[in-house]
Amino acid sequence: MDAVIRAMAERTEGFAGREMAGGGRNSWKSVLENRGHEVRCVMEGLGQIPEIRNIYADHVRAELQKLWKKEDENDV
């Protein structure tokens, strides 16, 4: 296996099927295969990986806490 292609998006609908892994001559997969590479496409977005979801949730939680703290300071 020369190359593994994975979408760097939360979800993979549309883009991944067409532009990344599609059978069209301009898809990433086709371009790499035409250059002699063996390609495997991973058809899941980063949002489907639990560790990535946890990082995302941690960031959202931290930003919400900042927002709530700011609101509390404004109420004083």
Q: Calculate mean pLDDT across residues 17-22.
A: 82
Of 31, 2, 27, 25, nearest in space to 15 by CA: 27
Q: Which of 34, 60, 48, 55 is nearest to 6 (CA)?
A: 48
Among candidate residues 59, 32, 51, 43, the one with its CA nearest the CA of residue 9: 43
- pLDDT tens digit sequence for 42-68: 888 788 889 998 999 999 999 999 999
Domain membership of residue 50 as a residue range: 3-75
Question: What is the value of pTM for the model shown?
Answer: 0.59
Tell me how many domains the chain contains. Answer: 1
Higher pLDDT, 6 or 57: 57
